Structure formats: C-alpha cells, structure tokens
Amino acid sequence: MSTPAKWEAVIGLEVHVQLLTQTKMFCGCTNHYGDAPTSHVCPVCLGLPGSLPVPNEEAIRLTLLTGLMLGCNLAPVARFDRKNYFYPDMPKNYQISQYDDPLCAGGLVPLDPFLFPKEIQDTAEAKAGRSIRLTRIHLEEDVAKSFHFEDRSGIDFNRAGTPLMEIVSEADLRTPGEAFSFLGSLRQVLLAGHVSHADMEKGQMRCDVNVSIRPIGQKEFGTKVELKNLNSTSGVRRALTYEIARQIAACEKGEAIAHETRRWDDQAGATFTMRTKEKAHDYRYFPDPDLLPVRTDQGLLEAARTRLPELPTVLQSRLIQAFGVTAYQASVLGADRVLCAYFEKAAAQAKSKATVANWILNDFLSTQPDPATTPILPEFFGELADLVADGTINSAQAKKVFAELMANPASPREIVKRLGLAQISDVSALGTYCDEAIAANPRSVEDYRAGKTNAINALKGFVMKKSQGKANPLQVDEILKAKLSA
C-alpha cells in the first residue's frame, strides 16, 4: 500500500547493536549466547551488593570505530550515566548508559539503493541516494533475558551486562523502504568494521521505531507512536507500512493519534497498543559515580582509527571502477566481505574482470559455496573467464568446465584438456566441416540464399555436431557466410 499523496510519514530509528567483544561491558564474564542459564554471571553483572563496574576498553573502541565509520563527532571525554527504572531483567534497577556525553554525536548513514526491498530498487525512492543523519551513538549494558510462564517469569542473567551500542537516527526517514535500506546499509558498515554480526533475526541488532504522519508541506511533526517487537528488517518495513496506513486512516476520519507504544504482531500483521505515554518515565539520569569519565584522546581513538576498514560506499565505487562490475554487483559483493575478497583475487589477473564477476555472482553463488573454505581457488574463475575470452573454449564449453570444476576442482585449463574441450579454430579443419555441412543440407543452403538468413543455423548446428561442439562458433559463422555467398 502506498502513502496517499497528501500525507508523509516521519520516521526515526533507535537501533541497539550487540558488540563482538569477548567479555561483558563492565565485568570479565564471557559475552556469549546460548549457553546454560546463569553460567556467565558474577557479582558485578548480577548486581550483588558491593560490586563495581569497570568499562571494557574494547567495547569503547568498537563504538569509536563505528563513529569513525559513520562520520560522527567523537567526544574526547565521555561519561557513563545511570538510567533509573525498576525491572526484573535489570540487576541493579538502573542501567549504566550514556546521557549527556555520549561517545559519538552526529554522523550519517548513506542509503544503499540496492538494499531497498527488491521490488522497489528501480524506483525514484531507492535511487534518490539519500543519507540519513544520526543524532548520536552511545554505549550501554544489555538487560537479562526473561522467560514468561503462566503465573511467573524466569530470568537468565547471562545477557545482563553485555555491551550494547545504541544508534539513534534523526527523524529523517520518510518511507518504510528507506527504513529497510537504513538497517541494511547500517549493517554493512557494522560488518565491515567487525563491530557486530548485526543480524536482527538473531537479536544481534534490535530496533525501536518512532513514526508519525503529517500533511505534506507541514513543518510540525505529528503525534509520534513508538513501535516495538520488530525482529527483522522486513518486519520493520511491514510494521511501518501498516502503522502509517493506520495513522492516515485515523487522521482522515478526524481521530487523534494517541502518544503511545504499540507492539507489532507479525502473525496478525498489525500493531496493538502496549501502553500509553500519559505519564512519561522519569529516568533520573545522573553521572555514574562508580565510573570515571573516559578519555578517548589518550590512545583509544587512535587504536580505533587503525581498524578503519574500507567503507561499503568506497568499496563499491572501487569495484565498479577497477573491475567494471555493475552497481548491483558491487552492492552484492560489498555486502559480503569474504566473497568480495574472493572475487578480487579471482579477477586480479583476469583479462575480462566483469566476466569473472558474472561467473562468481551468477554461477558460483547459486551453488551456495562458503568462499572462506571452498577448495575452488579464486584464480580458477579468472582462468575460466580468460579461456572464453581468448577463444580457447566457447560459452557452452565453459558451462561444462564450470560443472566439472564444481564436481572435481582443478584448474580450468586442465579440465579443458581432461575433457578434450579445446575449441577448433583451425581454418582448414573448420572449412572441411563447413563444406560437409553445405553438401549435406542443400535445402538450408537454398533457403539461405533465398534470403532466409536464419537457415544458416541449421548448417552451424551440423558443424557443431560434427565437431562434437568444439568448433569455434564465430569462425564457423564467418566461414559459412563466405562460402555461401561465393
């Protein structure tokens, strides 16, 4: 459903990202999921009386690195604050977070057109090339995991105190498709920096959405609704599509939008009121006296800088320029750094680099390979492309070589030999085949000469059959034409 022309949506995202650290944010417990409940806890992350937090420097470096990658302003001195509210999944009943002095402020996420939903990648919306401004990025601790039973809840504190990076966008997004691309584009950056696996479906990246609508042209924001329980990027898109339509329908009926938090029900495909926000939370933030301010300008920032990867946008333009791949191929390669490295190796020495991209992205990828462990050396694809380019084999033979390459990995040159595939380009040999073809197919010859140029295909087919598919089709074409017009 598209937004009726008279309304526009205003969307802001708060994205929580689990960081790839060995240990928790403020204690040395292992940062790992899926283990036996309560097996990674200590006095600190269990909030025992007397325990004290000490910040994990790696979590700070990863947050700074994210800030560098997204062009944020990085604070020379950052502070941790206490955010006070009671909840059983929060051991201290305050969360250590950052309020006044976050590690990063500002920044931009460029929307990758190819990370919009497939069916709208060709629209102006996707091709607009917008960048979404960030408000801030800060670091905090995650809460425990609750399991709800009939009359009780059980809590596993393994996740409590693990590092969580919160990325807050400005209310710059206007469509569900943009929100979808924002999450995908952000994920590419996080993957590039090895900051997080950032998989929403695994809870490594979580997203709260704020959305309101307003008549196009109006400056003021409408009443904002917060959406929760969004567990995938496509879920975010569906929830937003639903919610925007709901708000528009309400407004057009003259109903007021309630300032509330709504829960997305993926099964029902609808949002439902969770709680109204008449009484705003009073979190009573104040600087955590257990933690000294963090100086980032004494080594932390430099350490983060040395880890700056090639950013997705930079990588994509380089791939297009250096390898002649399409923008789409660049986006696919950019999304998988391991595959991209594989491609770059494959294409490095190849004469036809764009063909290498086709082989890898079309044929190879469809076999669902693991580029990190595959026994098929990347150089093989360069060789395969070159064999076609220099006329050693034709494209039909190349398909055979590829199939053999997958089944019994070896150098394509060897496979060509092994299968006896080398193309016949010898003019006299081909001439003989062509003479035989003309002699054996007088009807086709007649047709061709009568102007039915398609009739030559029957002659070509004869030559290919005779030569067991080894004849160079381009040369065959030339020779036949020459002989027929003689």
Partner 1 sequence: MSAPQINISDVASLARLTLTPDETAKFSAQLSQILGHMETLSQIATGAVPEVTPPAQPALRQDIPTPSLSIEAALSNAPAQANDLILVPRILE
Partner 2 sequence: MSLAYETIATLRRRLLSKEIHPRDILKDLFTQIDAREKTLHAYTYLHRESALAAAEKADLSLPLGGIPIALKDNLNALGDPCTCASKILEGYKAPYDATAVSLLRQAGSILLGRTNMDEFAMGSSTENSALGLTRNPWDPTRIPGGSSGGSAAAVAGRIALAALGSDTGGSIRQPAALCGCVGLKPTYGRVSRYGLVAFASSLDQIGPLTRTVEDSALLLSVLAGHDPRDNTTDLRPPEKFLTQKNGSVQGLRVGLPKEYFLPGMDSETESAIRSAADWFKKNGATLVDVSLPHTPTAIAVYYILATAEASANLARFDGVRYGRRATDARDVLDLYHRTRSEGFGAEVKRRIILGTFVLSQGYADAYYRQAQKVRALLRQDFEKAFTQCDLLLTPTSPEPAFPLGERTQDPLKMYLADVFTISTNLAGNGAISLPCGFTKSNLPIGLQLIGPRFGEETILRGAHAFEQAHDFFQRLPPS
User: Any contact of residue 22 with partner 2 (CB under 8 A)?
Assistant: no
> Which residue in the set 43, 76, 299, 409 belongs to the binding site for partner 2 (CB under 8 A)?
43
Dihedral over alpha carbons 303, 307, 308, 309 (to 10 degrees):
180
The smaller minimum CB distance to partner 2, of residues 21 and 355, is found at 21
User: Any contact of residue 253 with partner 1 (CB under 8 A)?
Assistant: no
User: Any contact of residue 49 with partner 2 (CB under 8 A)?
Assistant: yes
User: Any contact of residue 77 with partner 2 (CB under 8 A)?
Assistant: no
User: Any contact of residue 442 with partner 2 (CB under 8 A)?
Assistant: no
Region near partner 1 per CB under 8 A, out of 284-292, 308-316, 375-383, 460-468:
284-292
> Which residue in the set 7, 94, 114, 157 belongs to the binding site for partner 1 (CB under 8 A)?
157
> Which residue in the set 3, 30, 46, 478 belongs to the binding site for partner 2 (CB under 8 A)?
46
User: Any contact of residue 273 with partner 1 (CB under 8 A)?
Assistant: no
> Which residue in the set 155, 250, 320, 406 belongs to the binding site for partner 2 (CB under 8 A)?
155
* Residue recorded with tokens 């409940």: 37
Supply the minimum distance, in Å, between the C-beta of residue 25 and partner 1. 9
Total residues at the site for partner 2 (CB under 8 A)?
Answer: 31
Region near partner 2 per CB under 8 A, out of 231-239, 283-291, 363-371, 377-385:
283-291
Can you tell me the distance from the alpha carbon of 412 to that of 427, in angstroms, rounded to the nearest whole number?
A: 25
Contact 349, 385 (CB under 8 A): no
User: Any contact of residue 163 with partner 2 (CB under 8 A)?
Assistant: no
Contact 209, 236 (CB under 8 A): yes
> Which residue in the set 151, 220, 278, 370 belongs to the binding site for partner 1 (CB under 8 A)?
151
Supply the minimum distance, in Å, between the C-beta of residue 157 and partner 1. 7
Please, what's the b/e burial string for 71-98 (b: 16 or more CB within 10 A of its CB; e: otherwise)? ebebbeebbbbbbbeeeeebbbebbbbb
Please, what's the b/e burial string for 144-162 (b: 16 or more CB within 10 A of its CB; e: otherwise)? bbeeeeeeeeebbbbbbbb
Structure tokens at 407: 């089944």
User: Any contact of residue 147 with partner 2 (CB under 8 A)?
Assistant: no
Supply the minimum distance, in Å, between the C-beta of residue 67 and partner 2. 22
Instruction: Kindly report each contact of residues 26-33 with a partner whose C-beta sits within 8 Å and lies 24 or more positions away, as own/partner.
Output: 26/53, 26/54, 26/55, 26/56, 26/96, 26/141, 26/161, 27/51, 27/53, 27/54, 27/161, 29/161, 31/162, 31/163, 32/158, 33/158, 33/159
Binds 117: which of partner 1, partner 2, none (CB < 5-8 Å by kind): none
> Which residue in the set 152, 219, 253, 443 belongs to the binding site for partner 1 (CB under 8 A)?
152
Instruction: Kindly report each contact of residues 429-433 with a partner whose C-beta sits within 8 Å and lies 24 or more positions away, as own/partner.
Output: 430/463, 430/467, 430/471, 430/472, 430/475, 430/476, 430/479, 431/479, 431/483, 433/462, 433/463, 433/466, 433/467, 433/471, 433/476
Biggest alpha carbon–alpha carbon distance for the chain: 101
User: Any contact of residue 292 with partner 1 (CB under 8 A)?
Assistant: yes
Supply the minimum distance, in Å, between the C-beta of residue 289 and partner 2. 4
Element spanning 82, H or E: strand 81-84
Can you tell me the distance from the alpha carbon of 480 to that of 472, in angstroms, rounded to the nearest whole number?
A: 12
Report helix, strand or coil for 163: strand
What DSSP character marks residue 169? E
User: Any contact of residue 317 with partner 1 (CB under 8 A)?
Assistant: no
Structure tokens at 198: 């950032």
The smaller minimum CB distance to partner 1, of residues 139 and 171, is found at 139
Supply the minimum distance, in Å, between the C-beta of residue 210 and partner 2. 20
User: Any contact of residue 275 with partner 1 (CB under 8 A)?
Assistant: yes
If we measure between CA atoms, which residue out of 387, 450, 448, 451 comes closest to residue 460? Answer: 448
Site track for partner 1 across 28-47, x = CB under 8 A:
xxx-----xxxxxxxx--x-
User: Any contact of residue 154 with partner 2 (CB under 8 A)?
Assistant: no
Contact 214, 7 (CB under 8 A): yes
Region near partner 1 per CB under 8 A, out of 23-31, 119-127, 424-432, 437-445:
23-31
Binds 52: which of partner 2, partner 1, none (CB < 5-8 Å by kind): partner 2
The smaller minimum CB distance to partner 1, of residues 88 and 409, is found at 88
User: Any contact of residue 452 with partner 1 (CB under 8 A)?
Assistant: no
Element spanning 97, H or E: strand 94-97
Report helix, strand or coil for 219: coil
Question: What are the residues binding partner 1 (CB under 8 A)?
Answer: 21-23, 26-30, 36-43, 46, 54-60, 77, 86-88, 146-148, 151-157, 274-275, 282, 284, 287, 292-295, 298-300
Q: Which residues bind partner 2 (CB under 8 A)?
A: 42-43, 46-55, 82, 84, 86, 88, 91-94, 153, 155, 280, 282, 284, 286, 288-292
